[in-house]
Amino acid sequence: MEGDLRAEVTAWIEAHWDPDRSLLDWRRELYASGWAVPSWPARWGGRDLPRSAEDVVARALAEAAAVGLPLGAGMGLAAPTILAHGPDSLRERFLAPTVTGEVTWCQLFSEPGAGSDLAGLTTTARLDGDEWVVSGQKVWNTSAHHADLGLLVARSDWDVPKHQGLTYFVLPMHQPGVEARPLRQMNEHASFNEVFLSEARVPRDHVVGEVGEGWRVALTTLAFERRFGAMARPSVVPSAGRALEEAQVEAAEFFETYKWYPQRAGRPDLVVAQAQATGMASDPVVRQEIARLHALQRASRWTAERARASLALGRTPGPEGSIGKLALSHVARQAARVHSLIAGADGLLTGPDSPLGGVVAEVLVSVPAQSIAGGTDEIQRNILGEKALGLPREPAPDRDAPFRELPRNA
């Protein structure tokens, strides 16, 4: 079955891929053929195939050195969420331009007073004729300074319990009521933003799911975010041809935001060579810690493979998303520890003469982000405790009262 599929998609790519056409033109044809998103329903541009078909197509495209889908929150978060919850009018408007990369997205969930406790958010949406009017503040919003559209969760009803008063919107970012201010991080990059919403306008029908269903929809996005995993560079071969050149520009722009993510993951790939280069490979403590890192990486990879195999069989995602996310935090922290053992105090230095040209220092100040983004380690442990181990739920005295009546900081 997989062999037939492979042969069919390879033949299609051979007949249609031409590096000299425009990237947009190519992606539109790929989408129209159903091969861009083969596991989606045919009605929305797919082929009703199992999820494993996505990997088959990705491998076939890579082998033909042909360009695939755009990276980022569009295909990672927006498309699967809108596909899952609709309505059809939003599927019609946004799925195709997301697959082709014509529109880019950001995630507007977290607020200064609502991160782990996302359902406590206070950004407010009120209906005014044919538009929702949204005011409030979001924070830590990756790529919001250049995204076209935002996945926004806002409170549309203050008089019901907190999880019931939320609505999920598609927010047009380029408008006077939206101001994204980049935040400078301790690793000197500025990939996320504060976003101020001052009477921002959202068309009435830009609601994903139903009004008041925002929490349920947000959980879908968060599940996809956990599965998102490590960010790999696309396999665009540097060669001539308009589509390839445009794809390289697109990837370069994308990785400008994410260029510190490999450091965030701890750069475990560099430790052995660095231990050897610095003469530390025979140090028994360093060896032991490298072995520990290696074991954590193996276990993390097997968890990811188990999750992929279970999805390919059509099973509902289990706790592997939370386990996998926790495992990545452990790997990142252990890799940072090994880099510190090897480099000693010099690991704090930046500049060309410092360990690995400053990469070690960047690892040390970037790794903490790994255990925060997409839900902290503690939150993953709570999820695992309650959902996988069946432990009693965390006490939530604020769960049932109308949100308006809950005590809040000024």
Choose between 115 and 203: whose C-beta lies nearer to ligand FAD.
115
Q: How far apart (Å, rounded) are the C-alpha atoms in residues 25 and 361?
A: 43
**What's the rounded Cα separation, in Å, for the pair 265 and 362?**
11
Instruction: Tell me the chain's radius of gyration from C-alpha atoms.
Output: 23
Q: How many residues bind ligand FAD (CB under 6 A)?
A: 20
Task: Tell me if 142 contacts ligand FAD by CB under 6 A.
Answer: yes
Toward ligand FAD, which CB reaches closer, 57 or 373? 373
Residue 130, C-beta contacts closer than 8 angstroms, at least 6 positions apart: 203, 204
Among 372, 384, 385, 398, binds ligand FAD (CB under 6 A): 372
Q: Where are the alpha helices (DSSP H) in 259-347?
A: 261-264, 271-277, 284-312, 320-343
40 scored as a contact of ligand FAD (CB under 6 A): no
**Interface with ligand FAD, residue 192, by CB under 6 A:** yes
Interaction of residue 141 with ligand FAD, rule CB under 6 A: yes
Among 54, 111, 225, 362, which one carries the catalytic annotation? 225
Q: Which stretch binds ligand FAD (CB under 6 A): 50-58, 136-144, 197-205, 304-312?
A: 136-144
Q: Which helix (H) or strand (E) holds 98?
A: helix 88-100
> Is 225 one of the annotated active-site residues of the chain?
yes
User: Which residue is listed with tokens 């071969």?
Assistant: 237
Q: Does 2 bind ligand FAD (CB under 6 A)?
A: no
The reply to whether 257 sits near ligand FAD by the rule CB under 6 A is no
Q: Which residues contact 377 (CB under 8 A, 6 or more apart)?
A: 326, 329, 371
User: For ligand FAD, which residue of 31, 35, 40, 109 counts as binding (CB under 6 A)?
Assistant: 109
DSSP H or E run through 253: helix 242-258
Is 107 a binding residue for ligand FAD by CB under 6 A? The answer is yes
One DSSP character per residue, 27-46 reads HHHHHHHT-SSTTS-GGGTS
Binding ligand FAD (rule: CB under 6 A), the pick from 116, 175, 239, 276 is 116
Give the interface with ligand FAD as residue ranges (CB under 6 A).
Answer: 106-110, 115-116, 140-142, 192, 369, 372-373, 375-376, 378-379, 382, 394
